């Protein structure tokens, strides 16, 4: 069950009050709060995972979908029990600082550079570093997530990897400060390029009913790998965390059953995520 971000804290407070009541002493064992990314939500994967997880364990999964940076903040603030995110560098720092434990890689897809079919910067088929250099040289419109999400972090690392300065106040560069679907809608309206995860782009194509304003122009380059991991919030730091339920979800998602749910998930016949949890 998705929890809208503007109701997240209210729901958390109500849950805490309810779980303190003797009549619902089993609340902790049956409800789990997760912070995750907009990409897992926008693609439709989360309701499928939640249904299968509840069927296997009896635990109800609820979530708030935000950028990875905000998801990690929810973990630091002890607002959630578990995370499903996609920014490996930030995740490792989160664990090293004692905020999370047992980070487990569970699935991946890839990022793609998308833009108008007319392709004014002529980036189609190039390596990602060459494509970004061409966009900057042409001063072609580019819309960034600009929200400290995993996708935004990846975009920043790609500019750096191309030995280019991070765009900031350039007239051709804009920050949406929103989720992936909204960012692509903005890029489509402006005839601009943007970086997207493939899963959400497939969902965007589906919503466009076969007439998307953006098309995939750069794909398959090694730096575009998009790894997702699940992390349990550290119970030593967050005393109220539902650690047992979080660990049950982490282990289930990495198990044969959970990996099959991920691998079988498609949209319009297209596979959105590839399971890659290590064999136990």
What would the pLDDT profile of 81-125 be if each residue is shown by its tens digit?
999 999 999 999 999 999 999 999 999 999 999 999 999 999 999
Concatenating the DSSP letter of every residue in 78-100 gives T--SEEEE--HHHHHHHHHTTSE
Report the distance separating Cα 150 and Cα 129, nearest Å: 19
Q: Which of helix, strand or coil describes residue 268?
A: coil
Q: 20 burial class (0-12, 13-18, 19+ CB within 10 angstroms)?
A: exposed
pLDDT at 280: 61
Report the distance separating Cα 70 and Cα 197, nearest Å: 18
Please give the structure tokens belonging to residue 2.
Answer: 């998705």
Pairing of strands 270-271, 266-267: antiparallel
* Degrees to nearest 5, angle at CA 83 with 245 and 237: 75
Instruction: Name which of 25-29, 74-78, 101-105 the model is least confident about.
Output: 25-29
Instruction: Name which of 122-126, 167-171, 194-198, 241-245 the model is least confident about.
Output: 167-171
- Report pTM: 0.82
Q: How many Cβ atoms sit within 10 Å of the Cβ of residue 95?
A: 16
Q: How many Cβ atoms sit within 10 Å of the Cβ of residue 280?
A: 7
Contacts of 264 (CB under 8 A, 6+ apart): none
What would the pLDDT profile of 123-180 be if each residue is shown by its tens digit?
999 999 999 999 999 999 999 999 999 999 999 999 999 999 999 889 999 999 999 9
pLDDT at 77: 97
Judge whether residue 26 has pLDDT over 60. Answer: no
Is residue 177 within 8 Å of residue 186, measured between CB atoms? no
For residue 238, report the phi and psi dihedrals to the nearest 5 degrees: -110, 95
Q: What is the mean pLDDT of the chain?
A: 90
Please give the structure tokens belonging to residue 71.
Answer: 């998801």
Q: Which of helix, strand or coil describes residue 110?
A: strand
Please give the structure tokens belonging to residue 191.
Answer: 């005839």
pLDDT bracket for residue 250 (50, 70, 90): very high
Report the distance separating Cα 216 and Cα 202, nearest Å: 10
Is residue 58 within 8 Å of residue 28, measured between CB atoms? no
CA–centroid distance for 127 within its chain? 24
Average pLDDT of the residues in 68-92: 96
Q: Measuring CA to CA, which residue among 273, 116, 106 is closest to residue 200?
A: 273
pLDDT at 169: 87
Contacts of 13 (CB under 8 A, 6+ apart): none
Judge whether residue 21 has pLDDT over 90. Answer: no
């Amino acid at each position: 069950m998705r929890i809208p971000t503007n109701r997240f804290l209210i729901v958390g407070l109500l849950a805490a009050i309810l779980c303190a009541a003797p009549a619902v002493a089993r609340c902790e064992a049956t409800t789990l709060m997760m912070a995750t990314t907009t990409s897992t939500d926008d693609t439709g994967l989360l309701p499928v995972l939640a249904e299968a997880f509840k069927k296997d364990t009896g635990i109800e999964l609820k979530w708030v979908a935000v950028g990875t940076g905000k998801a990690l903040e929810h973990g630091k603030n002890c607002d959630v029990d578990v995370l499903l995110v996609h920014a490996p560098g930030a995740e490792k720092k989160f664990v090293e600082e004692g905020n999370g434990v047992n980070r487990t890689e569970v699935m991946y897809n890839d990022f793609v550079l998308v833009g108008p079919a007319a392709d004014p910067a002529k980036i189609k088929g190039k390596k990602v570093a060459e494509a970004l250099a061409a966009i900057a040289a042409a001063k072609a419109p580019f819309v960034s997530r600009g929200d400290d999400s995993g996708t935004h972090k990846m975009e920043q690392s790609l500019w750096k990897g191309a030995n280019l300065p991070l765009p900031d106040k350039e007239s051709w560069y804009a920050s949406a400060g929103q989720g992936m679907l909204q960012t692509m809608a903005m890029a489509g309206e402006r005839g601009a390029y943007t970086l997207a995860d493939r899963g959400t782009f497939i969902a965007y194509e589906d919503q466009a009913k076969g007439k998307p304003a953006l098309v995939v122009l750069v794909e398959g380059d090694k730096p575009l790998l998009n790894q997702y991991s699940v992390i349990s919030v550290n119970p030593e730091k967050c005393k109220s965390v539902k650690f047992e339920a979080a660990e049950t979800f982490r282990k289930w998602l990495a198990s044969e059953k959970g990996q099959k749910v991920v691998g079988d998930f498609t949209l319009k016949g297209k596979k959105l995520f590839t399971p890659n949890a290590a064999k136990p």
